[in-house]
Amino acid sequence: MLKQLTSVKGIGVWTAEMFLIFTLGRPDILSLGDAGLQRAARWLHALPERADKNYLGVAAANWAPYRSYASLYLWRAIDTGLVDAGLPVEACGKG
């Protein structure tokens, strides 16, 4: 499906992946090129800012077959300010 979508002029990989997640509801899509997901994964695993870009794909292997849902949680961590707060993941649920 990704190949078919990206064959349309003007539709890139990221756009096709977002279509698969949000329109078709595919549960196992991970947008490796999404800068937000890369940043949130570095936060989640306490990696340095300059961590290997391929890390997201390696870390997400354990999330299959629900990588779309993991993506939603990572985007939510960004939206709520957890990622930018710089707190360790362990501290985020305590209060």
Active site residues: 34
d(CA 38, CA 57): 9
d(CA 65, CA 50): 28
Neighbouring CB atoms inside 10 A of 50's CB total: 7
